[in-house]
Amino acid sequence: MAKSKKNNLIGEGGFKALIENSLDVIMRFDRAHRHLYVNPRVEEQTGISPDQFIGKTHAELGFPSDLVNLWGETLEKVFTTGVPGRVEFQLPGGMWIDWLLVPEFFPDGSVETVLTAARDITDRKIAEEAMKDVHRSLEARVEERTAELVGANQELRGEIAEREEAEEALLHSEETLRLIVEGSPGFFFYVHDPEGLIIYISPSVRSITGRSMEEWMAHYTTYLTDNPINKKVVEYTERTMRGEASRINYPAEIEHADGRRIFLDLYERPIIKDGKVVGIQGVAHDITESRRRQRELIRLSSALAGLVEMVIITDMDHRIIYANTASRELLGYYPEELIGRDSREIFDKVPGNPPNLTELIRQEVVKGVWKGEVFDRKKDGTIISVAITMTGLKDEDGKEIGWVGISSDVTHRRQLEEQLRHAQKMEAIGTLAGGIAHDFNNILAGITGYAFLAKQKLKRSDPIFANLGSIERLSRRGAELTRSLLAFSRRGEFQPGPVDINRIAEEVLEIIRRRTGEKIPIRAELEKELPNISGEERLLHQILMNVCVNACDAMPEGGILALSTSRISPDQVVSSLLAESGVGDLIMIKISDTGIGMDDEMKSRIFEPFFSTKDDKSGTGLGLSIVNGIVEKHGGWIEVESTPGLGSEFTIYLPITGEVNHSSG
């Protein structure tokens, strides 16, 4: 009796659930449904090479509109709801695909991309149709025989013979199908009755679970683990028993005979006889390895997305196939704006980089990992310095398939290094200048003294008396030069006291007005009740006079000279030099002109001693060097902004004493 029941169930059901191909096609899509990544398996299913997918949508690839609409609706649903999806469809070539879609999330919980796996289920579909054909054929034969029996009882014996022949054909068909089922690797098939008693299971269950057919049939429910996904197993089985032929596969986790936990993908359909469910037929597919690969892809994608460094992956044609979200912070581009672009456009055309920089780096990467610093251009046009680590990307066979670059912004670090080098250079020059000036001053003192003594022995009418006077004047000019050098080197005498900077500014501007007349209008904005500066009045007067004179000289055809003073707090200053100024409020003095301006190279050298843009007769190249030395001696610093053709602005920061001068302003 048991055997008869088994045969009837198997015969009616026809083993309609067939094998799916475990070699999946993996794809990743952005919100515009463009392909961000596809693996090499896609060519077997579509006949289109993987590199043709990157950066394109299904519509751009020329797929039929009905499939494009189905895929677009399914992708959009996952992007919108954040819930995984699944759908089956048939490709133009006849291949049937089972498509799994899994969302990947931004840190804020919104969906960033969708990762999909496409599985070939053509064999299963063909088998289902074949079983349907067999079932329809048998039903037709039975109906035909029944009609003949009712109509002609005398042909009973012949009809019985024909029925036996049909049953024999059915048994033969079942045997053929059984050979297919029992020899399928990676799958096992099963049938159980309404009470859950398994009445058939294919031998391949041993290769997948490590357990014999008898063990599985007797104790299969005890092999389910405590994984929450197993709660759905009972729910789906109950739905199938109610006659709901679901087209959705569902997972289950079981314990292998060796103690490992493996995942099965289950697909069940009801066996219906006379309108009543008499059992369930199902197929189980081992998806442990494919699930592991999917999880690795998700973890890798999440890890790369969370890096503060920008990660870019390119193929062998230099085309960008992946960029993480850090590209937004580093370059101002969203990842989808970079996908499909030629990486050479980003580096090779940036000023300061060799025209074939990308190719030079690739040649070095062949030897191993390349590390270095290059220039890069942000989306807004800003040029930045980046540190790059470049390495090759290889497939499972060791074949090079692309490159991976990791970049970080080092612009600020390079600026600080440049400031340190400049400070060290100026310190060395100052030490040298101070030593020379000190010794030269001693020599000048001797020259002046001897000239004075010689004059005492001569009458004013003596021609030599006038020559000695000239020697004294030249010695005094030399002494002034040495004092300037000592001021630059910070080795001169310094006797600070409270100074009203507004009063000095007014005196300097009055001198400038007399010198320039109406040719250069002056705009002054001096903050009232400005605190005093702790410094030396003569030196501070020299600072303002020197900068203002230079500003006027930069406007030979006329222009506007502006000078302003104000009190500011440290948190109002955006400068890398603030750390060297100490804490406390500051006096800010701005002096600007509308003159010829300076380029970056000239601006970087203006504080060097003996560097001048003027001719030899009108400039010594010590003015701004001395200004810089005096400002630093007062505990402050200078910042310069200049644009060729538009003018320059000098901003001087000096610490205050805290004493307010009520007469200023």
Per-residue pLDDT tens digits for 29-56? 999 999 988 888 888 778 888 889 899 9
pLDDT at 4: 38
Q: Are residues 514 and 643 in the same domain?
A: yes
Is residue 396 within 8 Å of 387, Cβ to Cβ? no
103: pLDDT strictly greater than 80 = yes
- Is residue 301 situated within a structural domain? no
pLDDT at 147: 63
pLDDT at 490: 54
374 against 235, higher pLDDT: 374
Q: How confident is the model at residue 487 (pLDDT cuts 50, 70, 90)?
A: low
491: pLDDT strictly greater than 80 = no
What is the number of alpha carbons within 13 Å of residue 31 lying toward its C-beta? 13
Q: Are residues 530 and 444 in the same domain?
A: no
Q: Are residues 546 and 645 in the same domain?
A: yes
Of 129-143, 246-260, 448-462, give the lowest mean pLDDT range.
129-143
- Is residue 297 situated within a structural domain? no
Q: Are residues 403 and 427 in the same domain?
A: no
- Which value, to the nearest 10 degrees, does the dihedral of the CA atoms of residues 544, 564, 511, 611 take? 30
Kindly report, residue by residue over 510-550, the tens digit of the pLDDT: 989 988 888 899 999 999 889 988 888 888 888 898 899 98
Range of the domain at 514: 497-660
CA angle in degrees (0–180, nearest 5) for 456-457-458 = 95
Q: Are residues 541 and 648 in the same domain?
A: yes
What's the CA gap between 256 and 288, in Å, rounded?
A: 11
Q: Report the percent of the chain where pLDDT is more than 90.
A: 15
Of 366-380, 447-461, 612-626, 630-644, give the lowest mean pLDDT range.
612-626
Overall average pLDDT of the 71-91 stretch: 91
Q: Are residues 246 and 336 in the same domain?
A: no
- Is residue 166 situated within a structural domain? yes
**Final residue before a domain boundary, out of 374, 409, 444:** 409
472: pLDDT strictly greater than 90 = no
Is residue 581 within 8 Å of 569, Cβ to Cβ? no
Helix (H, G, I), strand (E, B) or coil at 88: strand
pLDDT at 429: 63
Q: Are residues 527 and 641 in the same domain?
A: yes
Q: Are residues 234 and 282 in the same domain?
A: yes
CATH of the domain at 438: 1.10.287
What's the CA gap between 52 and 38, in Å, rounded?
A: 10
- Is residue 298 situated within a structural domain? no
What's the CA gap between 99 and 247, in Å, rounded?
A: 12
Average pLDDT, the chain: 77
Overall average pLDDT of the 268-274 stretch: 81
Q: How confident is the model at residue 647 (pLDDT cuts 50, 70, 90)?
A: very high
Q: Report the percent of the chain where pLDDT is more than 70.
A: 74
Q: Residue 515 is inside which H or E element, if any? A: helix 501-516
pLDDT at 234: 74
Residue 214 sits at φ, ψ, to 5 deg, of -65, -40
Q: Are residues 330 and 458 in the same domain?
A: no
Q: In terms of C-beta density within 10 A (0-12 exposed, 13-18 middle, 19 or more buried), how is residue 430 classed? A: buried
- Is residue 431 situated within a structural domain? yes
Number of domains in the chain: 5
Q: How confident is the model at residue 71 (pLDDT cuts 50, 70, 90)?
A: very high
Q: Are residues 503 and 482 in the same domain?
A: no
Q: Are residues 597 and 611 in the same domain?
A: yes
pLDDT at 563: 96
Residue partners of 321: CB distance under 8 A and separation at least 6? 36, 37, 54, 313, 314, 315, 339, 402
CATH of the domain at 368: 3.30.450.20
**Final residue before a domain boundary, out of 292, 322, 352:** 292
- Is residue 103 situated within a structural domain? yes
Is residue 50 within 8 Å of 42, Cβ to Cβ? yes
**Final residue before a domain boundary, out of 267, 292, 317:** 292
Is residue 638 within 8 Å of 459, Cβ to Cβ? no
Q: How confident is the model at residue 437 (pLDDT cuts 50, 70, 90)?
A: low
- Is residue 554 situated within a structural domain? yes
Q: Are residues 158 and 273 in the same domain?
A: yes
Residue 351 sits at φ, ψ, to 5 deg, of -55, 135
pLDDT at 272: 82
- For residue 162, give the amino acid letter: E
- Is residue 319 situated within a structural domain? yes
